[in-house]
Amino acid sequence: MTSRERVLRAIAHLPTDRMPADYHALPPVTERLVAHLGLPDMEALLQALHIDMRRVWFSYYQPDFSPDAEGYVRNFWGVCYHPEHGHVVLPFNEESSVDDVYTHPWPHADVLDYAGVTAACAQYHDEYATYGSPWCPFFHEVAGLIGQENYFVWMHTRPDLVEAITERIVTFELDVTRRYFEACRGKLDIAFFGNDFGTQRGLFISPALYQRFLRQPLKRFFDLAHDFGCKVMQHSCGSVCDILPWLIEDGVDIINPIQIRAAGMALPALVRDYGGKIAFHGGVDTQHTLPFGMPDEVRAQVREYRALTRETGGYILCSSQDFIEDIPIENILAMYDEALRV
């Protein structure tokens, strides 16, 4: 069974010869692992850990504009900041209108270079499950343009403005994503989108506000991915159990990263309630077990997840967040070594 076959069978809720595995880490952790194992680069590390997936990266961020006469630099979204004293000027405020949103100089997707996407897909697709997207975190991009507090308040007091800004950001991100998928030339298995909707205790906003402002824009991304023959993996940190039925209904095939210590996100309960309806990616605990536990405790958690999904599939081993510097190398190696056992 190839790595790609292993991942796709798991997503289809079928048993596999062993647990499929993925790897998410901050660069310093990868550098430490590469050095510790005496390897030449990250690709060699992924092979050494028997990682079954390869991410096809792409960023739609564009260079900042030159400073104006007062020394302010404007980024591609239109946020201005002063590099010396740090003052930030947002493009929208209490006086802004919907007309201001539509006359704002929004970025364009056609200025970006997608050639690297084609090459990466061609390199990895036959052997590994390929996944990626331009990420498209519009929930956070809106907050970056109007301020986080304003965002939550304006959902109640200026919903027309919030909807207009969201629509313009999503339109741009969908244009980029369409070009990204076209550049993949049929060799991307999984579209991977990211927005963080959850905190440790619940959602940032109520389910009703999610339904009004976020659900339909998200579904546009899911539908586009399915149009190109991709499965959909949605990332959200924190507790998202309140919206998981909607995510399933709207076309999400895989949820990541399963922050198991957040409210309602324990993997056994999720498998019990939603197994067969959605696959799970992640869940090896970066809040306690990996940073503070011993290798045997890490192995025990991996064995638990294997027992949960051995017969039904629906699980891809990975951490519940990116590996960060406080996690001992020995625990990371134990996690992947245990995954090889059947």
- For residue 152, give the amino acid letter: F
Residue 315 CA: distances (Å) to CA of 56, 207, 232: 21, 26, 14
pLDDT given for residue 4 in this prediction: 98
Q: What is the pLDDT of residues 65-118, one digit of tens each?
A: 999 999 999 999 999 999 999 999 999 999 999 999 999 999 999 999 999 999
CA distance 159 to 154: 6
DSSP label at residue 310: T
pLDDT given for residue 146 in this prediction: 98
E-assigned strands of the chain? 53-55, 73-74, 80-81, 88-89, 129-132, 190-194, 231-235, 254-256, 279-284, 315-319
Please give the domain boundaries of the chain with CATH numbers for all domains.
3-62+107-339 (3.20.20.210)
Pairing relation of β-strands 80-81 and 88-89? antiparallel
- Residue with tokens 């076959």, as numbered in its chain: 5
Q: What is the pLDDT of residues 258-291, one digit of tens each?
A: 999 999 999 999 999 999 999 999 999 999 999 9
The stretches in the chain having pLDDT less than 50 are none
Q: Are 149 and 129 in contact (CB under 8 A)?
A: no
pLDDT given for residue 328 in this prediction: 98
Q: What is the DSSP string of 3-32?
A: HHHHHHHHHTT---SS--B---B-HHHHHH
pLDDT given for residue 170 in this prediction: 98
The β-bridge partners of 80 are 74, 89
Write the CB contacts of 115 (distance below 8 Å, at least 6 apart in sequence).
183
143 exposed, middle or buried (CB, 10 Å; 0-12, 13-18, 19+)?
middle
CA distance 342 to 327: 25
Q: Are 187 and 120 in contact (CB under 8 A)?
A: no
Predicted TM-score of the model (pTM) = 0.97
